[in-house]
Amino acid sequence: MTLDIQSITRAYDGLPALDDVSLTVRDGEFLALLGPSGSGKTTLLRIMAGLDRPSAGQVRFNGEDFLALNPRERRVGMVFQSYALFRHMTVADNIAFGLKVRPRGSRPCRAEIAERVHDLLRLIQLEGYGARYPSQLSGGQRQRVALARALAIEPRLLLLDEPFGALDARVRRDLRRWLRQVHEQTGVTTVLVTHDQEEALDLADRVAILRQGKVEQVDTPQALYDRPASAFVHDFLGEGLQLQATVARGEVMSSDWRAPSDAPTGDAFLCIRPEDLEASDTGLVGVVISSLRRGDRARVAVSLHGRRLELDRAIGDPLTILAPGEPVRLHPRRFHVLAERGDIQTTSA
Amino acid sequence: MTAETLRLSAARPRNLSLGRGLLIGLALLWLTLIVLAPLSVILVEALRKGLGAAVASLSQPDVWAAARLTLLTTAIATPLNAVFGLAAAWCVTRFDFIGKTLLMALIDLPLSVSPVISGLVWVLLFGASGWFAPWLNAAGLQIMFTPVAIVLATILVTLPYLARELIPLMQQQGSDEELAALTLGARPSAIFLFITLPNVRWALLYGVLLANARAMGEFGAVSVVSGHIRGLTNTLPLHVEILYNEYDFVGAFATAALLAVLALLTLVLKSFLEHRHADDLAARGRC
């Protein structure tokens, strides 16, 4: 049950929303489409659901031409950011809708539908809420009902369009954990669209990073962290430094600092995560801006080559002894020399 | 009003509440003068020569024919407008197409031109020297000065009411629910019956009543195309005018009272629905 997307292009009024995108969603996996707004991730999801059509390219599901099927025939469960619950129906009727509208031959009988609704209400932990209307539920509860409604049709593919976008941070975190559990229970191949990197890295087996209508990199969260394909990916996945650098004669150089690198000669970005920096006699020259103790840890803000970076360290680390205003040299234990975008160039250290 | 605002208004200085009383009084006085007084004049004039005379003038066959034609016209025009209004609102709120702004302007047009013009256009099309006159003559068909022309003129005048009522609501609701139903396997007919229609049902009913009231009372456009043939092409408003011009005041006012009662019935139903509609929106508007 793999979904194969080949060279999809979609343009709106001449502006490309998706530009030659190819992607494979494997059977049973949880894939996140991650990118800033306008990167084309929602367009890609709508094409999977059949709510939008590509200008060129192919979508195959288990070898079957998905584009030849209309959304009604695809058996794809979709969850919208706006919940899109049927406001005039009870929670139970919402969940049962996809079963009730089936053609007479394949429609389950009344008792079967009731049982399925009951099972799903238990799955979303809303037993006893079946007779309520969506307006009587909280945002998190509504989104759970929307998920149950999508699961009721036993979808071959579950599509989630920023499902937690309208919820507050705490509810988001709880729902995220719960969604991962549901995925493990049901095993439905799932595609999640989000602009929240923490959400994507937490939930997904693999993450596809989109940028301006192109796929920048697809990999597991760990691999994205270990081997970012570009300075953009490095920047998008979390806090870090991307310093302008040049590579020449087997060395990477950023102002007064240099290290051996096998990256190709030319301009590049020196990309470093804060956790890879350690106080040392050699290294990048910086100044401590502030140092805040909180329990057994300290947050040390450092200005490095004109950039501000927050370092979270255990008390006792040499960095936590420094007072604001003191100079410091920071040595990157690990760094990446990357182009602004494009293929993996090199990983050093 | 919440408890908070109640407390605030109670704490208001005296002269402010005096000003409020004055304004309310002024508004009431104005309404009495402009709305209530003329309405009661109709009743008073109708009953001037006693209830018997009023009932007698209402039992004239011409009045019954006019009432029948009015109700028939409304019964044809309103459902057609409901269907067209729903289709137009659907088109405008669910699709982007070239000429959308023009379509919306056209829907509004009958509101902004005089009803007399809405009548005249039919004369220009179907009249003795109208565009379609040769074709109609050849086929031996007569449209002007028949109930058909009256229905056409009424449809044109009441055309905007439903679309105007539905478009803002459907715009606000968006199409996500319909798309969700589509991905759940619903056929277009099921989406319309189970999702679209229930979501706009109150606005639809409200619009139907507005269009209905307007259709019953329409004078200008109908007057142009009717031909004023008693018992055949006279609607209630036209009949009121004829009786009045013939100095049959009791008859005129009794007929006017009948028309007013029909309109008031619609109004009562409308207020009731407005109430329900507001509750409905308040209860379910959040999702």
pLDDT tens digits along A251-306: 888 877 888 888 888 899 999 999 999 888 888 888 999 999 888 899 999 998 88
Q: B188 with B112, same domain?
A: yes
Q: Report yes or no on whether pTM surpasses 0.90.
A: no
Tell if the CB–CB gap between B287 and A149 is shorter than 8 Å. Answer: no
Q: B21 with B72, same domain?
A: no
User: Which residue in the set A87, A133, A153 is minimally distant from B185, CB to CB?
Assistant: A153
Tell if the CB–CB gap between B184 and A149 is shorter than 8 Å. Answer: yes
Nearest CA in chain B to A52: B179
Number of H helices, E strands in chain B: 17, 0
Answer left, alpha or beta for residue B231, where phi above 0 means left and psi between -120 and 50 means alpha: left
Q: Does A139 touch chain B (CB under 8 A)?
A: no
User: Which residue in the set A76, A80, A133 is minimally distant from B284, CB to CB?
Assistant: A133
Strand, coil or helix: what is A332? strand
Using an 8 Å CB-CB cutoff, list chain A residues near B282: none
The distance of B116 to chain A (nearest Cα, Å) reads 42
The distance of A71 to chain B (nearest Cα, Å) reads 5
Q: B101 with B229, same domain?
A: yes
Is residue B72 a part of any domain in this protein?
yes
- Asked whether the beta carbons of B205 and B162 are under 8 A apart, the reply is no
Query: What is the pLDDT at residue A264?
Result: 86
Is residue B5 a part of any domain in this protein?
no
Q: B39 with B107, same domain?
A: no
Residue A345 to residue A343: CA distance in whole angstroms: 6
Is residue B191 a part of any domain in this protein?
yes
User: Which residue in the set B176, B182, B198 is minimally distant from A71, CB to CB?
Assistant: B182
Q: Does B286 touch chain A (CB under 8 A)?
A: yes
Q: B152 with B22, same domain?
A: no
Q: B40 with B56, same domain?
A: no
* Structural domains of chain B, count: 2
Q: B42 with B57, same domain?
A: no
Is residue B7 a part of any domain in this protein?
no
Residue B224's domain spans which residues?
52-284
Q: Does B19 touch chain A (CB under 8 A)?
A: no
Query: What is the pLDDT at residue A304?
Result: 87
Using an 8 Å CB-CB cutoff, list chain B residues near A78: 179-180, 183
Q: Quick one: angle between helices A110-123 and A91-100, nearest 10? A: 130
Q: B101 with B182, same domain?
A: yes
Is residue B77 a part of any domain in this protein?
yes
Q: B37 with B120, same domain?
A: no
Q: B140 with B32, same domain?
A: no
pLDDT tens, residue by residue, A120-169:
999 999 999 999 999 999 999 999 999 999 999 999 999 999 999 878 88
Length reported for chain A:
349
Tell if the CB–CB gap between A74 and B183 is shorter than 8 Å. Answer: yes
- Asked whether the beta carbons of A119 and A185 are under 8 A apart, the reply is no
The distance of A184 to chain B (nearest Cα, Å) reads 22
pLDDT tens, residue by residue, A14-53:
788 999 999 999 999 999 999 998 899 999 999 999 999 9
Using an 8 Å CB-CB cutoff, list chain B residues near A84: 176-177, 179-180
User: Which residue in the set A75, A88, A101 is minimally distant from B199, CB to CB?
Assistant: A88
The distance of A279 to chain B (nearest Cα, Å) reads 53
Residue A296 to residue B256: CA distance in whole angstroms: 88
Residues in Cβ contact with B53 at an 8 Å cutoff, skipping those fewer than 6 apart = B250
Is residue B23 a part of any domain in this protein?
yes
Residue B136: which CATH number?
1.10.3720.10
287 residues of chain B, pLDDT tens digit each: 444 444 555 555 566 788 899 999 999 999 999 989 988 988 898 888 888 888 888 888 999 999 999 999 999 999 999 999 999 999 999 888 899 999 999 999 998 999 999 999 999 999 888 888 888 888 888 888 999 999 999 999 999 999 999 999 999 999 999 999 999 999 999 999 999 999 998 889 889 988 998 999 999 999 999 888 888 888 999 999 999 999 988 889 999 999 988 888 888 887 887 777 665 555 444 33
Q: B59 with B184, same domain?
A: yes
Q: B132 with B264, same domain?
A: yes
Tell if the CB–CB gap between A49 and B194 is shorter than 8 Å. Answer: no
The distance of B5 to chain A (nearest Cα, Å) reads 25
Strand, coil or helix: what is A69? coil
Is residue B205 a part of any domain in this protein?
yes
